Structure 1
Amino acid sequence: MKVTFKPLSQQVMVITGASSGIGLATAQTAAARGARLVLAARNETALATVTDRIRAEGGQAIYVVADVGSREDVQRIADRTMQEFGTFDTWINDAGLSIWGRLEEISDEDHRRLFDVNFWGIVYGSLIAVGHLKKHGGTLINLGSAASDVAFPLQGMYSASKHAIKGFTDALRIELEEQDAPVSVTLIKPAAINTPFPHHARNYMESEPKLPPPVYHPQEVAEAILYAATHPERDIYVGSSSKMFSSINKTAPRVMDWVSRNLMVDLQKREETPRNPVGTLFEGGSGGFVDGDEPGYVMKTSLYTRASLHPLLTGAIVAGSALAMMAWLGRERG
């Protein structure tokens, strides 16, 4: 059955992890484009602030305080959505966190909690959302990572959780297609994104963590998510480095191992002591911020991602640029 996509201005959209980072950037952009929103996270203060801001600007939004590691909480998000809007068209599973440290140093309790949020949160959200979307049609969007395809040292269990998300999302998509269900399923795979993600992570290192470059602005991921809400995309890589790492790992895995072994450890450490080593693994922390405090350069756009989502437009731009260059060269020769 063909999936029918409504314009964003006619959609009801559920976003988990909506109090900061990618989730918040997506919520703000979706609201500006007319979507009605249900925002979920653990931080009620941040959710209330964001919801009030959206309403003050003429948008429609409600929030639900929820821990996605609890199926009951995720079901409450769906129930509240149905109470308020009677339906939803797109469900975005964005909530996630990380742990920085060597695998052998991290407690089992912390490892399990990370999987509860990152993996089981997406499982609960996906299965609950699909129960509705199979009947009414719509889109499920799960946030993976470059780490869905590549393992990164010092974030080993995070990488494992993102690998698991990819396997689950791919299997769910296949089952839905086999049933001819009117549901589009997209996995988003961002590269390093400048959000409060490192600050929220549980940190076992003696240094403040950071993301390996290149680092991109959160709005690039928000744009990819909202594109998937209106187009049938299987996977979207945000940032050329995400696609590059994935491709290298598939074709020359030992080369990627060498890169990770020799570069990735130092590239994930800042030259300062940890500021918040406990992080928000078990308790919601500060929210309300889209951007992190990446000390290096942050790329505003990813030409690779934009080209992959708009190949005809990009081709026209490239062709136009080539013609303009040829004309300019002709004038110079004349």
Structure 2
Amino acid sequence: MIRHLLSAADLSHEEATLILDTADEMARLTEGRAVKKLPTLRGRTVVNLFFEDSTRTRTSFELAAKRLSADVINFSAKGSSVSKGESLKDTALTLAAMGADGVVVRHSASGAAYRLATSGWISANVLNAGDGTHEHPTQALLDAFTLRRHLGDLRDRDVVIVGDVLHGRVARSNVLLLATLGARVTLVAPPTLLPLGVENWPCEVTYDLDAALPGADAVMMLRVQRERMNAAFFPSAREYSRRYGLDARRFSSLPEDAIVLHPGPMNRGMEISADVADNERSVIVEQVTNGVYVRMAVLYLMLAGSGTGSAGGEDAA
């Protein structure tokens, strides 16, 4: 069904629902079993091509592929030919020669996954595991899967997303996917942490967190990505936490059945307090578990029965 997964915007309501339903089935088939492996992708080769460090995401994709019985190759830019100057094209051609059926790519440059998928260098299916500040579609899918498990149908549900929208790719993918699934999304952030053009996204935008929380079915806190910041986007960590952190007082203003999400890793005490992170209505650990089911579903729908070859295509550089 899915040739590539590069953006949450690529998915129709039917396609997104199919992935989430398939993830439900993956969970049903593996939860509670001593042997969690399924034979679905036996003989397929999945390459995790990570130009950025991300132990959590890479491990999740590796576990997902192995549970489907695929062969997995982990390719890290550090210590590889990439660190010696090899281009994305040369790396892609090498992977094609290895017989890769699917490539999971994470890159610091926005658009790198799209380039890999459309260049003709490789005929494998490409899955975007995060490109620059652009998108992270499987994170949005696992968040939607988690929301759906707790809230049911997401149509007309209110989801508040709070934090560093400018430097993160999670917010954009979540806004696009949740809008496709019929949810109402409100972004909350200081003006300095909102990207240009955010007014054209299918969501509401506010600077007032306290006003947004009382009607929320779910609130998602985003990590402040200080490693991507080269300027002062807010006066201090303490000031940010005071204005935009989810603490016990703000948590108490949420409806009684509202849940709290965070894509991780968390800055405890900054965007979220420890007592809220560890509350029973926090589903942050559950998101990690659900990420494996969702990535199993995407890999299955991309690779099961696909006729992808492994030879590189025409030079499109």
Same fold by TM (over 0.5)? no
Considering fraction of residues, name the structure with more helix: 1
Using the size of structure 1 for normalisation, the TM-score is 0.30
Using the size of structure 2 for normalisation, the TM-score is 0.31
Larger RCO (CA within 8 A; separation ≥ 6): 2
